[in-house]
Amino acid sequence: MKRRELLKLAALTAALLTTTAMLASGAHAQDKKWKIGFSQVTTIEPWRAQFNKDILAEAAKHPEVELIVTDGEDKTEKQVADVENLIRQEVDALLVSPKESAGLTGVVQQAIDAKIPVFVLDRNVETNDYTQFVGGDNKLIGRAAGEYAVELLGGKGKAAGNVVEIWGGMGTQPAHDRHDGFHEFTDKEPGIKNLLDQQSGDWKQDQAYNIMATALRNNEKIDLVYGHNDPMAYGAYLAAKDAGREKDIKFIGIDGLPNEGVQLVANGELTATFTYVTPGAEGLRQAIKFLNGEKVEKTIILPTQKITKENAAQILKDNGL
């Protein structure tokens, strides 16, 4: 082949390659994936593990979505770095379930400023400037727990007993709401005495165990424990069991995961729990809806249910357990 023909062929090949690349990118543009980032606070607690499972199962139903999940390892600094990273990756939407309100507010604001739609899940931040909040109504759940505690301690106007309340993380709205709702009922009962003053187990079973072990040493009579989540109610139960006093005490928790809280109620270890549905599936569905140009509401509240030994076995059965 002559040199000129060779050059012609090279030019033709180059043109062909460019066209192919353009076609390929055109095709790519058509099946563009939504890149969605989800910043989870931790993965070690059972409710968080279920939350991640729920969001991944929902993502699997949407081939148009690429979901990036990060783990804040239960540290604000790590979670802030995770969100900054997702912003740098230019995600189309950000879902965040914060460790605590104050520490995550700045970085959520950064995402909003970068025009990334933000979906806040379960625990809030200190701005209303996000796209949507999805979570349970913790005040309502606290009220339901308080109403039931009054019933367990003798009924309205007659309730009497010593109560140990173990708070979740002090920097989180769910802990405050769960406290406030509960006390709307129990504070009306002069016979109910609160033994502790704002003791936080930071949502953890082992910390709750230690708080309860001390409370048991300091108080001869404890009638009811209210843990702001099931792992803490169970930690308190274990401390009471180790002290040989678990039969004298009622234990109330929150979360109601079938293979955790519901099972503990069915076993007679917890007296009651209240479901706190994870916002994993609904949060992702809402983000996709928004990215597809549909309107979304500012707040989505997920339902709750009281679980006692009356309905625990049925719930286990319904969940194939």
**What does the binding site for ligand FRU look like in residue numbers (CB under 6 A)?**
45, 47-48, 122-123, 168, 172, 174, 203, 229, 254-255, 276
Residue 301, burial from CB neighbour count under 10 angstroms (0-12, 13-18, 19+): middle
Q: Is the dihedral of CA 292, 294, 298, 300 positive or negative?
A: negative
Secondary structure letter of residue 298 according to DSSP: S
The C-alpha atoms of residue 129 and residue 237 are separated, in whole angstroms, by: 41
Please say which residue, 67 or 121, places its beta carbon nearer to ligand FRU. 121
Compute CA distances 24 → 10, 20, 30, 66, whole Å: 21, 6, 10, 19
Q: List residues bridging with 251 in a β-sheet.
A: 225
Q: How far is the CB of 242 from ligand FRU (least distance, A)?
A: 23
Q: How far is the CB of 14 from ligand FRU (least distance, A)?
A: 56
Sheet strand arrangement including 250-252 = 191-194, 160-166, 224-227, 250-252
Decide: 190 and 197 in contact? Cβ < 8 Å.
no
The C-alpha atoms of residue 94 and residue 64 are separated, in whole angstroms, by: 16
Number of H helices, E strands in the chain: 11, 12
Please say which residue, 132 or 138, places its beta carbon nearer to ligand FRU. 138
Please say which residue, 182 or 223, places its beta carbon nearer to ligand FRU. 182
Q: How far is the CB of 124 from ligand FRU (least distance, A)?
A: 10
Please say which residue, 215 or 232, places its beta carbon nearer to ligand FRU. 232
Please say which residue, 117 or 168, places its beta carbon nearer to ligand FRU. 168
Please say which residue, 141 or 153, places its beta carbon nearer to ligand FRU. 141
Take residue 13 and report the two structure tokens written for it: 């090949």
Please say which residue, 40 or 162, places its beta carbon nearer to ligand FRU. 40
Q: How far is the CB of 168 from ligand FRU (least distance, A)?
A: 6
Q: How far is the CB of 255 from ligand FRU (least distance, A)?
A: 5
Decide: 184 and 143 in contact? Cβ < 8 Å.
yes
Q: How far is the CB of 44 from ligand FRU (least distance, A)?
A: 9
Q: How far is the CB of 88 from ligand FRU (least distance, A)?
A: 26
Helix (H) or strand (E) holding 107: helix 101-113
